[in-house]
Structure 1
Amino acid sequence: MVDIATRVWNHKWKIDPIVRSLIDTDFYKLLMCQSVFRSKPDTQVTFQLINRNPQFRLAELVDEGELREQLDHIRTLSLTRGESTWMRGNTFYGKRQMFTPEFMDWFEGLRLPPYTLETRDGQYELTFEGSWPEVMLWEIPALAVLMELRGRAVLHDMRRFELQVLYARAMTKLWEKVERLREVERLRIADFGTRRRHSFLWQDWCVRAMYEGLGEKFVGTSNCLIAKNRDLEAIGTNAHEMPMIYAALADTDEELREAPYKVLADWHEEHSGNLRIILPDTYGTKGFLENAPDWLAGWTGIRIDSGDPAAGAETAIEWWKSRGEDPSKKMIIFSDGLDVDKIIELQTRFAGRCRPSFGWGTLLTNDFRGLTKDDSLAPFSLVCKAVAAEGRPTVKLSDNPRKAMGPADEIARYKRVFGVGEQEALEVVV
C-alpha cells in the first residue's frame, strides 16, 4: 500500500539536501578550526574551488540554480543538540573534552558565511571570503555538494532497474576490494573519502561495508556525522591549509622558512602533546625533515600525501634513524590516491619497519570507474583551497609539482627559500 501521507510530506521539500549537518565534514577540519579559533580568529582568508581536471566542465553539467539551492541550504544549518553533545562529551583519541567550552559556544552559534559563484569557460568560480575559522568550514561541504550534483546529473536519465544494476555492480566492486584487504595482516585502514564521495548515502554504505568486512582492521572514518551515527572512531589531525596560511602571513624569508614549524608548535600547545602527526610535504618533505627541530622527531608519525609514497616513507624512516628514533615504533599514514593494489604493496613493504596506516579516500567512496558506458561517473580531482590570507597569495609546492598552486613568482620564491629542486611529476588520479 502506498503511504500517501509520506509522499505528500516529501513533496513539501523544495530540494533534496545533500549536506544536512555541519558535522558532515572531516574531523581534521573541526580540530584545525578550534586551533585557528584560538590562535588566529580574525585572520581574513579566501578559499576557492580548483578543478585539476578542467576537461570536466562542471558548469555545463551541474545546474547553477541547483548548486545555489544546495549552498544556500548549507548556510541555514547549525549544530543540533545531539551533535553538540557528541562533540562536547565524546572521547577522541583517548581524550575527553577535545573541544573546549569556548570553541563549542562559538560553534553552536555559527552559520557559514556568504559565497560568491560565477561561471567562466565551462567552470564554476566558487569563492568564500571572511574570517579563517568560519570560511575554512566551507571546503568539505562545497566539494561534497559539487561531486554529488555531478553524480545526480549523470544518473538523472537512468531508469529504476538500470540504477539498481549500477549500484549492485558498484557494491560488488567495493566488496571484492574488501575481501582482498581482509587477507592483509596487521592492516590499519580508515575512510578518508568525504570530500569527493559519490554521495552521503554511498559513503555511509562503504563505511558499513568496511566495518563488517574488515573488523578491527578498519579503525574509523574521517566523517564526523558518520562516526557519530555509527559509533565509530573519528579520524584526523591537520592539513595543508595551516602551513599555507601561516606562510602567507610571514613578512620575511626567515619567517617564511619557520612557518611550517610554527604551525606544529601551536598545534602541540593546542593539543597538549596529542594528535602528533606531521604533514611535511607542503613545501617539500626532504627539506622539511632536514631542517626540522629535534622535538619533532619524537612525534608519533608522519602522513604522506603527495609524491612517490614509498620514497616518502623511506625518507621518513632514514630521518628518524638520524635523530636517534626507532622507526618501527613510528606511524606512517599513507593518504594519496590509494587503491587496493597500492595499499597491499605499501603494507607488504613497510610492515615491521614502521607502523603503516592508510587513509583511503576517493577510490573507496567514489569508484564508479567502468560502470557506465562513457565512464561519466569516473572520479576526478576537485579541490577547494585557501588561495589568500590577509590579501597575500598562498603557495603550496607539494612533493608532486602537478599539485603545486600559487602565482609563478611566489612559487619560485618558495622554492628558493625551502631549497626545493627538481621534482618528479606524477599523475594526479584523484
Structure 2
Amino acid sequence: MVDIATRVYNHRWKMDPIVRSLIDTDFYKLLMCQSVLRNKPDTQVRFSLINRTSAVRLADLVDEGELREQLDHIRKLSLSRGESTWMRGNTFYGKRQMFTPEFMDWFEALRLPPYHLERRDGQYELTFEGSWPEVMLWEIPALAVLMELRARAVLGRMKKFELQVLYARAMTKLWEKVERLRPLQGLRIADFGTRRRHSFLWQDWCVQAMHEGLGDRFVGTSNCLIAKNRDLEAIGTNAHELPMVYAALADSDEDLARAPYKVLADWHEEHDGNLRIILPDTFGTSGFLERAPDWLAGWTGIRIDSGKPEDGAETAIRWWQSRGEDPRTKMVIFSDGLDVDRIIDLHARFSGRVRTSFGWGTLLTNDFRGLTPEDALAPFSLVCKAVAANGRPTVKLSDNPRKAMGPAGEIARYRRVFGVGEQAEIDVLV
C-alpha cells in the first residue's frame, strides 16, 4: 500500500503529475463521448470552470505556473496499449465490446485540445473550446487537477509527521463510515468521487477500503483507471451535459421541449439493461416525467441528483405506478451530496419499495472536514460545465434553483417551456 503522507511530502520537490492517464476519468464520460461522436460529432462547444464556493479563492491558493504545467501534461497523454486492450476487450455491465472499433480508433489517436486560462478576482477562468467529443473529455481531469492542487497548497505547509497524523485521522474517519454501512442488508454503493477527490492516491485508497470493508455490496467505481487497476466494475451511465447541449441546439420551443427525450432515444439505440438509467432533473423532474413517452417507463431506473432525494424517489415511484410499472423492479440511484447518515436514512426508507443504489462522491473521496486548522481542506463545490453549443448558451434548471445555470433570460424561457414552478432552495455543499 502506498505511503500517501510520504508521497505528499515529496510533491514539493518536483513536478508530480496529477492525471497520468486519459482513463483517469469517469466511466459515463467515455460512454457519453461515444454517443456524441456517433450522433453530434461536429457540434462546437465551450466548457467553463465554475466555482460555486466563491469564498475559496483558487487563484490565490494555486500557483498559475503549476496549474499550466499540469494541464500541459494532460495534453501530452494518449491511450496506452494496456488501456486500449482493457476498453476493447473487457465486459462492462455484462456487455462485451461496449466501445465500438470506430470509437476506439478515434480515442487512441486523441490528444486533448488547447485550453484558455486567466486569473480574475481571485479565481481562475478556465475554458475549453472545440468539437464536443474532444472538449468534453477535459471536464473530469481539469477538476481533479484543481482540487488536488488546492490540497497540495494546504499540505505543502505541513511537516512530515503532521501529514502522517492527518492521513491516519482521515483513514480512521472513512473506516468508521464503512463500519456504519456494514449492517445495511441489500446495500449497493459505488464510488462516484473522481471529479472532486482529494487526490488520485486518496481516491484509490478509499476504493480499496470500501472494497475490503463492504465486499460485494461495494459494486464498483466510476473511475476507469482505478477500475482497471483494481479489477473492479466501472460504473456510470449519462449526465446533464447531454440534454443541456441537445436543448441548446433546438431551433424552437417545440424542439426544445422534445430535446431531453431525443437524448434518451439516441441512448436507447446504443444501450440496454442497467445502462438505461434516466437522469430527469436537468429541466425539472416532475415536468420531465409527466411528459415522458411511455417507452421510458420500461427503462431500468432513475438517478436522483438534486432537490430533496426522498421527494425525487417518491416522485419516481408514483410515476412508475401511473405507467403500470412495478417500482419494486426498478432502481433508484441516489448521487447528490451523500454521506453516511443520508445513505442510512434513504436505504431504510426505500428498501423493499425500489432497488436502491448509491453513488457516493465528494464526501467519500474528499472528507477532510475538521482535520486541519480553519478547515483548510474542507471540500467545496467546483464544476466544469458546457456553457455554450454552436454559439448558443446552455441552461440547467435542476430541482434545486441554487444549481441553476445559464443567462437569466434563457432560464426564464426554459422554465416556461418545461413548466417549472416554485422550487425549494437547498444549500449546495459539494
Q: Output the CA distance in 1 between the equivalents of 2:342 and 2:23.
A: 30
Q: Output the CA distance in 2 between the equivalents of 1:110 and 1:146.
A: 23
Counterpart residue number, 2:228? 228
Superposed, 1:166-315 pairs within 5 Å as 166-271=166-271, 275-315=275-315
> Are 2:399 and 1:426 equivalent residues in the alignment?
no
- Give the residue type in structure 2 aligned to 1:316: A
Instruction: Name the SS of the counterpart of 1:15 in structure 2.
Output: coil
Superposed, 1:14-413 pairs within 5 Å as 15-271=15-271, 275-413=275-413
Runs of 4+ residues deviating >4 angstroms: none
Shift of 1:53: 0.5
Give unpaired runs (5+ residues) of structure 1. 1-9
Q: Output the CA distance in 1 between the equivalents of 2:96 and 2:207.
A: 25
Instruction: Name the SS of the counterpart of 2:363 in structure 1.
Output: helix
- Pair 26,46 (structure 1): closer, same or farther in 2 beyond 3 Å: same
Listed one character per residue, the Cα deviations across residues 233-259 of structure 1 (whole Å, up to 9, x for unaligned) are: 000000000000000000000000000
Counterpart residue number, 1:7? none
Instruction: Name the SS of the counterpart of 2:422 in structure 1.
Output: coil
Question: Is the contact made by 1:219 and 1:233 (CA closer than 8 Å) also made in structure 2?
Answer: yes
Instruction: Name the SS of the counterpart of 1:374 in structure 2.
Output: helix
Shift of 1:157: 1.4
Shift of 1:15: 1.5
- Give the residue type in structure 1 aligned to 2:107: F
Shift of 1:271: 1.9
- Give the residue type in structure 1 aligned to 2:126: L
Shift of 1:121: 0.4
Give unpaired runs (5+ residues) of structure 2. 1-9
Superposed CA RMSD? 1.2
Shift of 1:164: 0.2
Give the share of equivalent positions with the same residue, in percent.
85
Question: Is the contact made by 2:281 and 2:288 (CA closer than 8 Å) also made in structure 1?
Answer: yes
TM-score by length of 1: 0.97
Counterpart residue number, 1:4? none
Instruction: Name the SS of the counterpart of 2:275 in structure 1.
Output: coil
Question: Is the contact made by 1:268 and 1:274 (CA closer than 8 Å) also made in structure 2?
Answer: no
Q: Output the CA distance in 2 between the equivalents of 1:230 and 1:41.
A: 33
Instruction: Name the SS of the counterpart of 1:388 in structure 2.
Output: strand
Q: Output the CA distance in 1 between the equivalents of 2:189 and 2:327.
A: 19
Shift of 1:388: 0.1
- Give the residue type in structure 2 aligned to 1:41: P
- Give the residue type in structure 1 aligned to 2:347: Q
Q: Output the CA distance in 2 between the equivalents of 1:396 and 1:188.
A: 29
Shift of 1:273: 5.9
Q: Output the CA distance in 2 between the equivalents of 1:101 and 1:311.
A: 42
- Give the residue type in structure 1 aligned to 2:202: W
TM-score by length of 2: 0.97
